[in-house]
């Protein structure tokens, strides 16, 4: 049984090197997950893989059924989630191609279903979220990333925006004042839903562009695509290394 799951983001809808054994579309009380869960082996270690944006990358960040995805992973016995995400870099150290393992989140998303604990008829419940990411998984990612040759930033604050448009320069400046070092559109509510269902969760963020106002000129989709292609290859290796020690 796979107790470790990888959630693949943009550019990682398939996990190279994963020996696929089977696929399963899980029915959940929250509707359909993004796609079937893939069960397979990565270097002989059993893992589950879920493509966040669907197997053909058609689900935009604001339409992802985060509750169904996380519930599905818990229902098959997953205890640890390694989430891969493409992000924009805000702080100087988070340059294109670098790998960031954030330790904090600020949620700027709106209108997403962000809890399993909806109250009535159940009792009111609150989870602690002081440290949103699991430290054991973070350390595994950091040490694996250190061996990859990529620039590694071992902490940071992930600002989760609603999208699907990229941010204005003023928004990024505000996020920077808030302490955000990277920006992406899928970090929340994914992280908090995993916490609510008692699964350890951490994020391997790949910087694929300079956030609005932080690079030269406007952000081109070509720049992002190139960043994704180069960065996700590195991310795959880092995930493989991290799974070995978890
Ligand atoms: N902003 C938000 N999400 C992103 C970005 C960005 O600049 N790059 C990749 N995902």
- Residue range 226-237: mean pLDDT, rounded: 89
Indicate the Cα dihedral angle 156, 59, 6, 227, nearest 10°: -50
pLDDT of residue 124: 87
pLDDT of residue 97: 93
Question: Given CA atoms 111, 115, 120, 126 in this order, what sign does their dihedral have?
Answer: negative
- Residue range 122-141: mean pLDDT, rounded: 95
**Is ligand 1 within 6 A of the CB of residue 240?**
no
pLDDT of residue 144: 96
Say what percent of the chain tops pLDDT 70.
Answer: 100
235, two tokens: 């991310």
**Is ligand 1 within 6 A of the CB of residue 161?**
yes
Our CA angle for 210, 211, 217, nearest 5°, is 70
User: Would you say 190 and 137 are in contact if contact means Cβ atoms under 8 Å apart?
Assistant: no
Which segment of 20-29, 121-130, 191-200, 207-216 scores lowest on mean pLDDT? 121-130
- Residue range 141-166: mean pLDDT, rounded: 95
Domain extent at residue 85:
4-245
pLDDT greater than 90 at residue 121: no
pLDDT of residue 1: 80
Pocket test for ligand 1, best of 159, 162, 224 (most atoms within 8 A of CB): 224
* Entry field: residues in the chain: 246
Nearest CA to ligand 1 atom 5: 88
Question: Given CA atoms 184, 132, 42, 48 in this order, what sign does their dihedral have?
Answer: negative
pLDDT greater than 90 at residue 34: yes
Pocket test for ligand 1, best of 106, 159, 175, 185 (most atoms within 8 A of CB): 185
**Is ligand 1 within 6 A of the CB of residue 87?**
yes
224, two tokens: 């992002």
Spell out the residues 6+ positions from residue 168 whose beta carbon is closer than 8 angstroms to its own. Answer: 212
**Is ligand 1 within 6 A of the CB of residue 232?**
no
- pLDDT tens digits, 173-193: 999 999 999 999 999 999 999
**Per-residue pLDDT band at 120 (split at 50, 70, 90):** confident
pLDDT greater than 90 at residue 17: no
pLDDT greater than 80 at residue 11: no
pLDDT of residue 245: 93
**Per-residue pLDDT band at 207 (split at 50, 70, 90):** very high
- pLDDT tens digits, 42-98: 989 999 999 999 988 899 999 999 999 999 999 999 999 999 999 999 999 999 999
One-character DSSP codes across 8-24: E-TT-SS-TTEEEEEEE
Per the structure, how many domains does the chain have?
1
pLDDT, averaged across the chain: 95
C-alpha of 8 from chain center = 7
C-beta atoms surrounding 189 within 10 Å: 22
The ligand 1 atom at the shortest distance from the C-alpha of residue 212 is 7
Domain of 99: which CATH number?
3.40.50.1580
142, two tokens: 């950091």
Nearest CA to ligand 1 atom 6: 88
pLDDT of residue 10: 80
- Residue range 136-149: mean pLDDT, rounded: 95
- Residue range 127-154: mean pLDDT, rounded: 95
């Amino acid at each position: 049984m796979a107790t470790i799951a990888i959630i693949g983001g943009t550019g990682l809808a398939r996990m190279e090197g994963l020996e696929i054994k089977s696929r399963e579309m899980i029915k959940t009380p929250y509707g359909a997950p993004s796609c079937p869960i893939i069960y397979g082996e990565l270097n002989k270690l059993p893992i589950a893989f879920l493509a966040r944006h669907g197997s053909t990358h058609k689900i935009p960040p604001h339409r992802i059924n985060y509750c169904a995805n996380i519930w599905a992973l818990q229902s098959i016995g997953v205890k640890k989630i390694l989430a891969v995400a493409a992000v924009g870099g805000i702080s100087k150290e988070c340059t294109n191609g670098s790998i960031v393992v954030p330790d904090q989140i600020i949620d700027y998303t709106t209108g997403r279903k962000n809890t399993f604990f909806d109250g009535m008829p159940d009792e009111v419940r609150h989870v602690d979220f002081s440290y949103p990411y699991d430290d054991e998984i973070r350390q595994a990612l950091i040490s694996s990333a250190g061996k990859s040759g990529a620039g590694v930033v071992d902490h940071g604050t992930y600002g989760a925006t609603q999208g699907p448009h990229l941010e204005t320069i003023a928004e990024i400046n505000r996020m920077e004042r808030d302490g955000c070092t990277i920006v992406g559109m899928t970090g929340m509510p994914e992280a908090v839903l995993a916490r609510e269902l008692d699964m350890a969760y951490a994020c391997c963020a790949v910087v694929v562009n300079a956030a609005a106002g932080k690079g030269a000129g406007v952000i081109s989709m070509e720049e992002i695509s190139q960043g994704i292609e180069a960065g996700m290859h590195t991310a795959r290796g880092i995930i493989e290394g991290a799974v070995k020690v978890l």
